[in-house]
A and B are shown apart, each in its own frame.
Chain A
């Protein structure tokens, strides 16, 4: 136990030195590809926003079902089957057919090559479920169909969220999927979290539709409120152009009216439709509708064939800039709700770093003094080991570019407190052995051997707790489990290699000394 080969000593020294170097690279700016790694600071330390967004898929489901009714009606119309009494609630479509047609309907829905009900061979499931309730047929999404729908709206939403955040120009945002209907957004060092929140909170569904007084409009009508919430107008459901047709949008100053406006340009299809609509609709009011509210409803005075136009409204420069940004980056497939938000200002982050570092320094000092007073030379060995242990711990966190949070710093401090445990177990055991054994070297040897099971057991229990915390915990708490868990390994390494090396050197030199410890 006390013997170390030269090769081993070399290995231990190099290993420790390497991690000390890696750890110290946090202090310097180096760009050589190896020592440029740094420990990431968590949002609670560097300041920033953590936002958990949930996609509200209900409107998407309703919209899909709405479209589906048309599809079903037309599909069976071609087969001379009339679909009667179509009704929609939030999750289902209901309809009736004549009894002799029931079988065709059922067969069509259950056919694996069905035109209206896609089949997923991998999951052995259709997109839709058809049920005969006795009174009528009920069509709803199958479990797999819902998953497919949610996944696709999540894919679209995360793309739009990314574009919007990129446009704001935050550095190194972290945008991740969570489950199949959530998006996690981490924005380090954000100046104005409220702006991002309001940008992400808007669906940005833009449509241009004519204002109509004709309640018998063949497309149906919507009664919509203006942005100011006071006026109302009846608007046709027929969409002239939508946000999808926009190529670009920019905030501008109208030189004639001195108002802030948003100018836009349309793609080919959009320009064509816009041109046609403005030529036939001169004198009519064209409502510009954003997320179910009318921004403005200017009267068409002229045919606009150029494919560009402008939106006026009660804009400040900021709101116009944001609207243009939203229009450029596209509409979300469904509304997003912020279901969890944690924002830390940069000054609180800095205060937390300072407090954490002071606590670490003081905790460290207290432990070191205590150990030295208690064990003298062996306390010194423990302390040197503790310092190297700390560097290796920081080195590993640096190497894996782990995220350090405030609870993470607490984890490091706690590691300092608990790391002496293994050394204490060994030293106390050696003391006991020395009561019966006069040979220092043998006593040290058996002290190490006999304390091993207790040390391993004790460390595994803490490690298990850290592992559970890692998988169950969230955010900053996860950082705690990382430092605590990694700390256990570095502690065992430093106790069994570094501390033992020092101990062996000291004991070999003082093999005949009495009252060694």
Chain B
């Protein structure tokens, strides 16, 4: 049996640090919102001419009066991702860019993807994203509240907040782009983290009923160990699947799978070190669960 409980305090300190650091990052550095939430235009280009360099393309774009333009390689050597704000919301901007590029580089570009999100829509998308995440946290809280006692709810929700905040913190730290698919990933992380916590809690509750004389500090450790192989196998298969998406699923799914991979790791960790530590700190005992059984 692994003594997970010996490190509750250590890892709680680590987690507190991570959460505070993430919050500081989120407040002061902020998130790198993509055009979905900031508005603007995104173009994915593929050139048939391998001699064209990023810097020449960048120069060309900065001459087009598009404001702040970002030109980056995208996966392949011949693929480029161009982003700009499109402040004036010019209607024929794509046609203009096309003819400009054709003039300078010849007809060598294939416009693989064009996305243009107006300021109104991006504000709405951001709002609905925030609502979706808040709503999912609220519903999880409610679900766990009717299924378990309040001490368990608190533990599960703290674990959830930890996972969401730290994942976003990492995105902020590395300036990774937040777009619609990241919201989907965060929601899935919420589901997964909850899933993982619930399985261990289910066992804790069962053991609380079984053993009257074991203290919660020991009991959580027993429960974690009993469910450990399941925890490892499920997170391993999920990570394998996500790794396949990350490595082979193409550029578009990279951010999504990366967020999910982090979420699964944080979710597994927090189920053990946050959710269960909360139970210990709240001094949950057999009385806690028996009271409910009587009701």
Show the binding face of A for B, using Cβ within 8 Å: 44, 52, 54, 193-194, 197-198, 201, 337-345, 347-348, 351-352, 355-356, 358-360, 362-363, 366-367, 370-371, 374, 406-407, 409-410, 413-414, 416-418, 420-421, 424-425, 428, 432, 450, 453-454, 457-466, 468-469, 472-477, 480-481, 484
Contacts and interface: CB of A to CB of B under 8 A. Distances in A.
Contact of A362 (B181, B230, B238, B244): B244
Given A355-B248, A407-B256, A465-B188, A425 B199 contact: yes
10 smallest A-B Cβ distances: which pairs? A417-B241, A465-B191, A363-B244, A355-B250, A472-B132, A339-B118, A461-B194, A359-B249, A417-B238, A462-B191
Given A462-B191, A473-B180, A454 B114 contact: no
Contact of A345 (B112, B192, B237): B112
B252 A406 contact: yes
Contacts of B125: 474
B116 interface: yes
A359 B248 contact: yes
B245 interface: yes
B115 A366 contact: no
B133 to A, nearest CB: 9
Interface residues on chain B, size class: 35 or more
Contact of B187 (A459, A465, A476): A465
B188 A484 contact: yes
B180 A477 contact: yes
Contact of A464 (B92, B143, B181): B143
Contact of B195 (A348, A359, A461): A461
A442 B91 CA distance: 71
Interface in B216-254: 226-227, 229-230, 233-234, 236-245, 247-250, 252-253
Q: Is the interface of A mostly helix, strand, loop or mixed?
A: helix
A424 B235 CA distance: 11
B237 A472 contact: no
Given A359-B248, A414-B238, A462-B195, 5 more contacts: A359-B244, A413-B244, A414-B260, A424-B230, A424-B233
Most B C-beta atoms less than 10 A away, residue of A343, A362, A468: A468
Given A363-B244, A410-B256, A468-B139, A480 B116 contact: no
A472 B135 contact: yes
Most A C-beta atoms less than 10 A away, residue of B110, B140, B240, B241: B241
Contact of B117 (A340, A356, A458): A340
A104 B256 CA distance: 66
B238 A351 contact: no
Nearest to A363: B244
Contacts of B291: none
A360 B233 CA distance: 19
Given A352-B250, A367-B241, A465-B190, A473 B94 contact: no
Given A194-B94, A474-B180, A341 B114 contact: yes
A421 B192 CA distance: 11
A477 B191 contact: no
23 contacts: A194-B94, A197-B91, A339-B121, A341-B117, A343-B115, A351-B250, A352-B250, A352-B252, A355-B248, A359-B247, A362-B244, A363-B241, A370-B233, A406-B250, A407-B184, A418-B192, A428-B227, A454-B203, A458-B196, A464-B139, A472-B131, A473-B184, A474-B125
Contacts of B131: 472
A460 B192 CA distance: 11
Most B C-beta atoms less than 10 A away, residue of A366, A458, A466, A484: A458
Contacts of B234: 418, 420-421, 424
B111 interface: yes
A436 to B, nearest CB: 12
